[in-house]
């Protein structure tokens, strides 16, 4: 089965470099990014869309739904929860360490990366037996990091900061 994974369009907290667990919608740039991706996806066939329950991902999925297929929201596809970091600049953490799978540093009440990846891995394992040829998944930067880990393994250094998708970037995976 082919999986087409994309990240939602830009939201203000992306623009301003802030941790955020608010259910924020796309900004004007994010809407433009989603429509630009929609044009690029015209020849991509998919049977169903799975999407994060967060508004920014749902709005992106609705824009991308060129085939008028069912969109199902999946809680396991929600972004990594920054907990008590929400509202703070990304600069309050060592970003490499925040996205280090082996890190022992705990940043406030942020969701642990191993627990987060396990949540996403459980979702990926759950769709192995569905009867679809192609799936579109609309998620977040963290979700794309977890997908990278699932399909490529955990790097020896455990670093994932540079493994995520940019807003409305799309990546194809094959799930066997």
Counted domains in the chain:
1
> Could you identify the residue written with the tokens 């799978």?
101
At 71-124, the pLDDT tens digits run 999 999 999 999 999 999 999 999 999 999 999 999 999 999 999 999 999 999
What pLDDT does 56 receive? 98
What pLDDT does 85 receive? 97
> Could you identify the residue written with the tokens 């977890």?
146
What pLDDT does 45 receive? 94
Q: Is 105 buried (19+), middle (13-18) or exposed (0-12) by CB count in 10 A? A: exposed
User: How confident is residue 4, by pLDDT bands cut at 50, 70 and 90?
Assistant: very high
Domain with 116, as residue range(s), is: 2-174
Q: What's the CATH number where 30 sits? A: 3.40.50.1240
What pLDDT does 79 receive? 98
Alpha-carbon distance of 174 to 171, in angstroms, equals 10
Q: Count CA atoms within 13 Å of residue 106 on its CB side.
A: 4
At 5-34, the pLDDT tens digits run 999 999 999 999 999 989 999 999 999 999
Alpha-carbon distance of 121 to 124, in angstroms, equals 5
Alpha-carbon distance of 54 to 70, in angstroms, equals 17
Q: Which of 40, 34, 42 is nearest to 63 (CA)?
A: 34
What pLDDT does 65 receive? 96
Helix (H) or strand (E) holding 120: helix 113-126
At 44-65, the pLDDT tens digits run 999 999 999 999 999 999 999 9
Residues 6+ apart with CB under 8 A from 94: 105
Alpha-carbon distance of 45 to 47, in angstroms, equals 7
Asked if residue 176 lies in contact with residue 18, where contact means CB atoms within 8 angstroms, the answer is no
């Amino acid at each position: 089965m082919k999986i087409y994974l994309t990240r939602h369009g830009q939201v203000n907290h992306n623009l301003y470099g802030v941790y955020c667990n608010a259910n924020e919608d796309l900004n004007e740039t994010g809407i433009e990014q989603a429509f630009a991706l929609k044009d690029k996806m015209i020849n991509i066939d998919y049977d169903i869309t799975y999407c994060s329950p967060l508004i920014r991902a749902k709005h992106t999925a609705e824009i991308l739904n060129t085939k008028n297929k069912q969109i199902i929201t999946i809680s396991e596809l929600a972004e990594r929860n920054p907990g008590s970091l929400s509202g703070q600049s990304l600069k309050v953490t060592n970003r490499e360490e925040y996205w280090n799978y082996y890190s022992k540093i705990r940043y406030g009440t942020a969701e642990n990366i191993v627990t987060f990846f396990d949540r996403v891995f459980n979702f990926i394992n759950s769709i192995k037996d569905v009867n679809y040829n192609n799936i579109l998944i609309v998620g977040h930067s963290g979700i794309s990091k977890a997908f990278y880990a699932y399909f490529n393994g955990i790097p020896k250094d455990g670093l994932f900061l540079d493994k995520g998708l940019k807003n409305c970037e799309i990546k194809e995976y094959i799930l066997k």
